[in-house]
Structure 1
Amino acid sequence: MFKQIHKLVWAFDAEWMPNPTAGRLLHNLPEEADDLEVMETMWQKGGATDENPRPFLKTILCRMLSIAAVQRQQHADGRVSLSLLSLPRDPNAPHDEKEIVWRFLNAIGERHPQLVGYNSLAADLRILVQRGICLGIQAPRFALRPNKPWEGVDYFAKGSDWHIDLRDYATPGWGSGTPSLHELAVLSGIPGKMDASGEDVPRMWLEGQLDRIIAYNERDALTTYLVWLRMAHFGGLFNPEGYLQEQQRVRELIVAESANKPHLHDYLAAWERLSPDLFRTEG
């Protein structure tokens, strides 16, 4: 289990989809080819079957759509605050993938949060680095590595306290016994996937529903954070009273944010259904 909680924690999640530009370039498809047709070709080339018509593609073949994170900050006076962060900030503005990736990676390099994700070493962090390279971004402070992982900030070393991949702690190694984030969350009394899944993201993008993608992304970030709290409690980093207090902070964050983000009302309602004893205790 992970050993410590840093003063600044970002529990993050990223959303992406097959990149039609990559499909056109790698499969010699015409520029005028429809985006959906290009993606269908990419899925076919990527091993589509009748049972799995849209297989998971290599992250290098995809493009970033949004990033969301729950930030936990312990201040000098001991006070703890939570924030919900997301990029892009305005779903109605022209989408700029390069700006999203640059902002997130350089913010990590500047602020040095402890990153928390689920399958983030193999997926989320990987695509951020790959897209950063392909887009010509510089993120030197994020990419800087110490000679030895314990001598400084290192987001790439497996098992590093600077980047906690919850999947690896829940089930070391791969295999059919590896739980999804949804499975681990719901069976722990935490909301998982609700009205959408990752398979729906390309369709939402093609229909111009970036706001729904960001909403889905934010809910996954909250789920990742709550699973992290659960695992930190399991490992003794929060005592029972502290764990209840941390969950109350999340509830307060959701209530505050839901004034402008109606999709969080549904998330809170789902959490209350899954963990009625928690809310009776707090209520």
Structure 2
Amino acid sequence: MFKTVNPLVFSFDVEWVPDPLAAARLFDCPIETPAEREQAMIRLWQHGGATEEKPQPYLKTILCRVVTLVGVLREKKPDSKIPHLRLISLPLKLDTPWMDQERAILQGFFEAVGSKKPQLVGYNSAQADVPILVQRAIVNGLSCPGFARRPEKPWEGVDYFSGHGDHSIDLAPVLGRYNQMPSLNEVARLSGIPGKIDTSGGGVAELWLEGRLDEILAYNECDALTTHLVWARFAHFGGFLNAEEYEAEQKAVRDLIVSLIENGKPTLKRFLDEWDRLQAIQPPESS
């Protein structure tokens, strides 16, 4: 369990696909056309141990390309009872050529985090999201000193690489290890919070190959909102949010979603409807 809740919290989620450029560099695969890029991705899956039963195995994250990154930025000022929430969705431009999208996402993330120093919150982020961001920043040759530099002593600054601090929080291992660790979808739905709605992580590669980045981003936005709502439940469990503050946090998320729908994100209506449906499922009254 985490020990603190910082004034600035960023609950985030990342989506990635096998990187055709990695296949080109490792195996000399051609990647000029969509069909060639698909074959390059298949080659990476084969390298990762693909079988007939499991044709798309989980790959080492360094072999994958970040395609979207979304987070809920929470700012809580001391004189305010209501947190201010923003949804940050990257890439900002969906029509950027695919070869340039990842670099723009990574630069945007590391520059903002390195400057503002929010408390990062993810689900299985210590094993997946944070490593792929660091690995791919190195692959892309980026300099990210604001994020990467570590203080001489723990109390002298923010350290995103420490396994003992609260600057980067992974919610997943708090709930269990190995076979006892629930998926984000499981812990969310059992808590009355929307989990997976239309797409699963396994469908992202196909969407990316078809150029449907807007659908990946919409899927990623739902996961980021889910992550933040699960974080709020953790914060309530830990006593960082009392009952009134927990209700206010959920209302702030709902108000954010309504505002986003009104301002051009109609896909989030599904998230809101699913939230209402799950909340309405209550245990039967005892007779």
What CA distance in whole angstroms lies between the structure 2 residues aligned with 1:277 and 1:43?
40
Give per-residue Cα distances to partners, 1:168-205, cap 9 Å, x unaligned.
2122x4x1121111111111111111100111111101
Identity %: 51
Aligned residue for 2:20?
Answer: 20
Aligned residue for 1:208?
Answer: 211
What CA distance in whole angstroms lies between the structure 2 residues aligned with 1:147 and 1:168?
27
Amino acid at match of 1:57: L
What CA distance in whole angstroms lies between the structure 2 residues aligned with 1:124 and 1:112?
17
Query: In the comparison of the two structures, how many residue pairs are matched?
Result: 276
Which among 58, 65, 68 is matched to residue 66 of structure 1?
Answer: 68
Amino acid at match of 1:143: A
Give per-residue Cα distances to partners, 1:85-122, cap 9 Å, x unaligned.
11112323434211110110111000000000011111
**How far does residue 151 in structure 1 lie from its aligned partner after superposition?**
3.2
Task: Tell whether the 8 Å contact from 2:9 to 2:121 is kept in structure 1 after alignment.
Answer: yes
Rate the CA distance shift 1:76–1:126 in 2: closer, same or farther, 3 A.
same
Aligned residue for 2:112?
Answer: 107
Amino acid at match of 1:36: E
What CA distance in whole angstroms lies between the structure 2 residues aligned with 1:230 and 1:159?
22
What CA distance in whole angstroms lies between the structure 2 residues aligned with 1:150 and 1:181?
32
Aligned residue for 2:278?
Answer: 274
Alignment map for 1:97-246 (pairs within 5 Å): 97-171=102-176, 173=177, 175-246=178-249
Deviates more, 1:129-138 or 1:69-78: 69-78
Alignment map for 1:31-110 (pairs within 5 Å): 31=31, 34-78=36-80, 79-95=82-98, 96-110=101-115
Deviates more, 1:148-157 or 1:224-233: 148-157
Rate the CA distance shift 1:31–1:86 in 2: closer, same or farther, 3 A.
closer
What CA distance in whole angstroms lies between the structure 1 residues aligned with 2:281 and 2:259?
22
Deviates more, 1:146-155 or 1:200-209: 146-155
Aligned residue for 1:281?
Answer: none
What CA distance in whole angstroms lies between the structure 2 residues aligned with 1:249 and 1:100?
26
What CA distance in whole angstroms lies between the structure 1 residues aligned with 2:59 and 2:165?
27
Rate the CA distance shift 1:201–1:257 in 2: closer, same or farther, 3 A.
same
Task: Tell whether the 8 Å contact from 2:30 to 2:40 is kept in structure 1 after alignment.
Answer: no
2:252 maps to 1:249: yes
What's the RMSD between the two structures over aligned residues?
1.6
Rate the CA distance shift 1:11–1:31 in 2: closer, same or farther, 3 A.
closer
What CA distance in whole angstroms lies between the structure 1 residues aligned with 2:269 and 2:189?
17
Give per-residue Cα distances to partners, 1:206-233, cap 9 Å, x unaligned.
1110000110111000000000001111
**How far does residue 277 in structure 1 lie from its aligned partner after superposition?**
7.7
TM-score when normalising by structure 2: 0.92
What CA distance in whole angstroms lies between the structure 2 residues aligned with 1:188 and 1:115?
22
What residue ranges of structure 1 are gaps of 5+ in the alignment? 279-283
2:1 maps to 1:4: no
**How far does residue 154 in structure 1 lie from its aligned partner after superposition?**
0.8
TM-score when normalising by structure 1: 0.93
Task: Tell whether the 8 Å contact from 2:83 to 2:249 is kept in structure 1 after alignment.
Answer: no
Amino acid at match of 1:268: L
Give per-residue Cα distances to partners, 1:222-270, cap 9 Å, x unaligned.
0000000011111111111211111011110000001210111000000
Aligned residue for 2:29?
Answer: 29
Task: Tell whether the 8 Å contact from 2:173 to 2:181 is kept in structure 1 after alignment.
Answer: no
**How far does residue 26 in structure 1 lie from its aligned partner after superposition?**
1.1
